[in-house]
Structure 1
Amino acid sequence: MAKILVVDDETDLEVLIKQKFRKQIRQNEYEFLFAINGRDALEKLALDPGVDLVLSDINMPEMDGLTLLSELHELNPLLKSVIVSAYGDMDNIRTAMNRGAFDFITKPINFEDLTITMEKTLKHVRQLKETLKAIKENNILKMYVDENVLSFMGRQEYESEIAANENITATVMFIDVCGFTAITERTPADLVVQMLNTYFDAMVKEIIEHEGYVDKFMGDAIMAVYRGEFHLDRAVETAIAIRNKIKELPDFKGIDGYKPMVSIGIKSGEMVSGNIGSSSLRRLDYTVIGDTVNVAARLQGAAGENQIVISEDCYSHVRESFKCKEIGEVTLKNKSNPLTIYEVLE
């Protein structure tokens, strides 16, 4: 059951919400809590940390919705918010998004749109929780396990699991934020981190949406891996979605003339999957390595702004599903022969 906190000083909204979602409430799909302003909302969240989604107005007494957004991020990074307000001007939308709002709906409320937005947001929250659970179970345990944990699990069982390496066929995607290094040289550190986290959050949503997983963050780049059925198609779909999403992001205040763009490289093939790192430090990273991974990184390096670059063998698999064009031959580092590469257009 999803738990949703509605924050609005219009008390009539509580009655309306209960009427419109009475079926979901009766079937224990949704549980609604209500607060009359941001301060009241924080008090209720302190008493009930299990809330998954906050629907908040902007103009409220004591603490407005935009201030609440800043507080929510500090309180619980997994908690997602949707602004529901009559003040739908671009300044409010940009401020809300910059402060972590997942979406923005204008009043009067279209309840069909609200329902779709709630379902989309709650799905994202569930995916984040599943990802966090997987990280805790598969990475943190393996990286930082101590003798007490080993004794509890059984040393033989643990060592067998941690040593389970395999050859797999999968797709690797590298995504780089173009021109971001130059921004860091003239921008305050807090704003740099805020910007990059905003871009990464938008990318990660699409990666999870298309059933990939983030292997690692590398400076201003992301390495993502796709396994299972149609792994290459899902990676290309993700790349297109990320390119479109980044273009739609609002400008950051205080940064003039910078438009975020991405360069993306994608390669499918065989690779080694396993725990790599230092056992003595208990710092192991479950990752993939091999020529396929290296070529994907080189393809990203060959991509221009807002370009998605794939290899010729990948093109042969996706040419009927995606519109592509040949770029030509390029010489990649550590490759003796030139490779023909293609750009994915749509």
Structure 2
Amino acid sequence: MKKKILIAAGNDLHSRMLARAVSKAAGLYNTVTTNTGATVISSAGIVDLFFVQDELVDMTGLEACTRLLAKFSEEQPPVILFSYRSDIADSALKQGVTGFLKLPCRPSTISELADKWMAWSSKRGKSHVILEQETVSPSSPSEAAKLTTAEKNNPSGGVEKSGELLRPNTLPDQLTADLALEPAVEGLREVAQTESSIQPVLNVATKYEDNSGPASFEVAPDQNQPPDEQSNREPVSIQPKKKEESLSQKKSSSPLKTVEEKALATEDEAKLGEKTTVLLIDDSKLIHATIGKVLEENGVETIHAMDGLEGLQQLSERIPDLIICDIDMPNMNGFEFCAKAKESAVTQEVPIIILSARGSGIDIDKGFDVGANDFLTKPVHAEELISRIDQMVVKNAADQDKRETILVVDDSLLIRNMMKQGLSQQGFEIILGEDGKEGLQLAINHHPDLVITDFEMPQMNGRELTRELREREDLADTPVIMLTAADSVVDRAKGEHAGVSAFLSKPFQPEKLVVIVEKLVAERRLIRERQVLKHYVSESALSVAAAAADGKESIEMMRAKNSFVSILFSDIVGFTPLTEAIEPEKLLGLLNEYFDYMTKALKGHNATIDKFIGDAIMALFPENKQRDKTRAAYDAVAGGFSMLSALKSSHLSDDIRIRVGINSGYVIMGDIGSRLYRRDYTVIGDNVNIAARLESSADANSVLISDDTYNLVKDLVAVEDSKEIQVKGKSGSILTHKVVDIIGP
């Protein structure tokens, strides 16, 4: 059962940010968010780890933690209080909170912190706890005083900077993610075990220097120990690795960060809880007051500008995470500002939301034309605004698994950047080309999963580009979206003839493009999955699965029916000694090459390859509308004879000899396996077992068939050495025939 994490924060933005950080361990935990202390308290006994902010909607976070901990008489789950304020750490720890987390801190720290606390929680009392005996009660006044004194003597600075402060006896191994701390932890154990005169009280603090990671760990000295003995003991410490100076910290000849610098700075310095920065451009002081208050209440730092010109000036001094811009303003309106911002390589990556009283289709289209990423009309609800900011800023594409690669080809820098911004937010990897000729070369080099191309472009237009893609075998199935301003029936017909998958008329909203892209990408992924699946699943299983997926049959239903089938088994003579004589990689290559020859011979006679069992092949030749029992039996015998011929004509004949057994009769065909997890669509029954026994009884490089099969094909084949044999599992003997030639129908 998945463990549960409850995240309680006073505003939704913090909840989502913390939840996303924890979700890096996706699939391991169930994460629930709330903004009330009442929910925290009522979750006692059903949640495995609590993250609680210092300020909640209905009470302080510390009050919620205290009331929660009071419900536990024995072992309690880890309860972590987090806050921007370091001055409340001492009080929180004294009142029993398991740990204190100082914001801002790295998302990776949160993710690994959750993992370490979960591991520690399940191993309390084992060697993973640094101090296994507690000689002073954590909540007693003497320990509180000792802890306070230890903090005063701590040269690392306590919790004045990002990190976490933990209670005695509650430190998980390797708590911090940024450095390998095992040597330091072992050092702490040695100090704790060898100096028995020291009270086992730890003051563990994490100090960040330029966000580089933990700087030192110290054991708090016993205040009753003589000063000279205290001074003789060296603190156990690790010096953080010195990071190379990031581009964002270097002096630049330009007052603006380049896109690359901003990306590196974001990756290098981003911290969970660090305020999102929004540039708000509007000529209304009322808007600045109201929107600014909403942003501030949700942990967003606001930069103010009264018109587009002042907005550009602010951009020259600082690059925000997002821009909110009105349309109608003096000096420079919102459309002009948006176009200027998107034309600059420095600011083209910054998402822009137009917030205006205008809401006509023409204004919205014009906003997207000049590069806006979203459009909201006044008045706007606070929840809606914060949600849009969250979608554009908090969603970090670098934290997402890389999705499909999309090639965008357009001669307009503005259009290229707009599409890149919108698609990148969905996690796609974007490659940009300026014209059809460059786009073709990029497609050849990168093999994108989808191509978006403008129609009218220099050197090679979109239709010519599509034709070139369709003529290349490796790119022929790549979906193509055509952007066009001329959306006539004739243009669409010409595009479809060239191989265009979908059309999008200019101007368009980014959301519409994303919808079309997601649809085409999903369809191509499904086609690829089916193509790959064909190599792992038999044709009969695929047809049954397709019928169930189409809704013709229930997915839950376990199918079973009596069917007349001719069953063929084959294997390699002396395969076990062969495995001992050949290296594994060479053996696997030899076996796969052998299967290529054999399956080609069988498929030439309409066989269904049911499965490979080690070196053995099981193939089915069922009776159906296309062939009767006689034809099915003949195909099986002819297929087995073709296997011998294919092997004889190949270079494998010196190393490999095979034997083939065939039987015909009624079998049970259907789903074999678990209804809930995995099943196989195959055949079972006595006639299947007989075919397998015939194969093991056959001579090397021969086909042995049962009398039931022979009676169906006796006019079509030549046999010899007809005899009865005893097979395992049968009380009586079975008449068999060795096939020596195929006469044909």
TM-score when normalising by structure 1: 0.56
Query: CA 1:130/1:343 → structure 2, altered by over 3 Å: closer, same or farther?
Result: farther
Q: Counterpart of 1:238 in structure 2: which amino acid?
A: G
Secondary structure of 1:199 counterpart: helix
Provide Cα deviations, 1:14-41, integer angstroms capped at 9, x if missing partner: xxxxxxxxxxxxxxxxxxxxxxxxxx9x
Indicate how the Cα distance of structure 1 residues 51 and 247 shifts in structure 2: closer, same or farther if over 3 A, else same.
farther
Q: Is 1:274 paired with 2:681?
A: no
Alpha carbons 1:167, 1:273 under 8 Å: kept: yes
Alpha-carbon distance, 1:165 to partner: 1.4
> After superposition, what is the alpha-carbon deviation per residue over 1:211-239, rounded to whole angstroms, capped at 9, x for unaligned?
11111100100000001311100011101
Which aligned pairs between 1:217-232 and structure 2 lie closer than 5 A? 217-228=612-623, 229=627, 230-232=631-633
Residue in 1 aligned with 2:656? 260
| Aligned-partner residue type, residue 644 of structure 2 | R
Rate the CA distance shift 1:269–1:154 in 2: closer, same or farther, 3 A: closer
Pair 1:201-2:596 in alignment: yes
CA-based RMSD = 3.5
Which has a greater percent of helix? 1
Residue 304 of structure 1 and its aligned partner are, at CA, apart by 1.2
Percent of matched pairs sharing the same residue: 31
* Structure 1 pair 50–299 and aligned structure 2 pair: CA distance change class (3 A): same
**In structure 1, distance between residues paired with 2:724 and 2:473:** 55
SS at match of 1:204: helix
Q: Do 1:330 and 1:340's aligned partners in 2 also have CA atoms closer than 8 Å? A: yes
Kindly provide the CA deviation profile for residues 46-85 of structure 1, in whole angstroms up to 9, marking residues without a partner as x.
5745479xxxxxxxxxxxxxxxxxxxxxxxxxxxxxxxxx
Aligned partner of residue 325 in structure 1, secondary structure: strand
State the Cα distance separating 1:283 from its structure 2 match: 1.4
For structure 1, the residue ranges without an aligned partner over 5 or more in a row are 1-39, 53-127, 253-257
Change (3 A) 1:200 1:319: same
Within-5 A mapping of 1:31-42: none
What amino acid is the match of 1:271?
V
Task: Mark the CA change 1:136 to 1:301 in structure 2 (over 3 Å): closer, same or farther.
Answer: closer
Residues 156-235 of structure 1: pairs in structure 2 closer than 5 A: 157-160=554-557, 163-228=558-623, 229=627, 230-235=631-636
Question: What is the aligned partner in structure 2 of residue 132 from structure 1?
Answer: 534
2:688 aligns with: 293
In structure 2, what is the Cα distance between the partners aligned to 1:180 and 1:266? 20
2: CA distance, partners of 1:208 / 1:340: 28
Separation in 2, partners of 1:167, 1:247: 37
Q: CA–CA distance in 1 between the matches of 2:725 and 2:622?
A: 27
Q: How far off its partner does 1:157 sit?
A: 2.8
Change over 3 Å in CA distance of 1:335–1:246 after alignment to 2: same
Q: Distance in 1 between matches of 2:732 and 2:666?
A: 20
**Secondary structure of 1:171's aligned partner:** strand
AA in 2 matched with 1:341: T
1-side partners of 2:539 and 2:667: how far apart?
A: 23
The answer to whether the 8 A contact 2:720-2:740 is kept is: yes
Higher relative contact order (CA 8 A, sep 6+): 1
| Aligned match of 1:311 | 706
Shift of 1:326: 2.9
Distance change in 2, residues 1:210/1:44 (3 Å): farther
The one-letter code matched in structure 2 to 1:265 is G
1:250 corresponds to = 651
Instruction: Give the deviation of 1:154 after TM superposition.
Output: 6.6
Give distance in 2, aligned partners of 1:337 and 1:317: 22
Cα distance in 2 for partners of 1:178, 1:302 equals: 11
> Residues of 1 paired with 2:658 and 2:711: CA distance?
24
Letter in 1 for 2:674: S
Give the alignment's TM-score, normalised by structure 2.
0.27
Deviation per CA, 1:266-296: give whole Å up to 9, x if none.
000000000101234x110100000110000
Separation in 2, partners of 1:295, 1:233: 18
Q: Superposed, which structure 2 residues align to 1:2-81 within 5 Å?
A: 46=447, 48=472, 50=474
TM superposition shift of 1:338: 1.1
Contact 2:594 2:652 in 1 (8 A): no
Query: CA 1:133/1:175 → structure 2, altered by over 3 Å: closer, same or farther?
Result: closer
Partner SS state of residue 738, structure 2: strand
More deviation, 304-313/262-271:
304-313
Q: Deviations over 1:235-274 (max 9, x none)?
A: 111011100101111159xxxxx53111000000000000
Alignment coverage as a number of residue pairs: 217
Name the SS for the 1:317 alignment partner: helix
Show the 5 A alignment for 1:327-346: 327-346=722-741
- Residue 67 of structure 1: aligned partner: none
1:130/1:307 Cα in 2 relative to 1: closer, same or farther (>3 Å)?
Answer: same
Partner of 1:238: 639
**Between Structure 1 and Structure 2, which shows a larger proportion of strand residues?**
1
Q: Distance in 2 between matches of 1:344 and 1:129?
A: 36
- CA-CA distance at 1:139 after TM superposition: 4.3
Give SS of 2:736's match.
strand
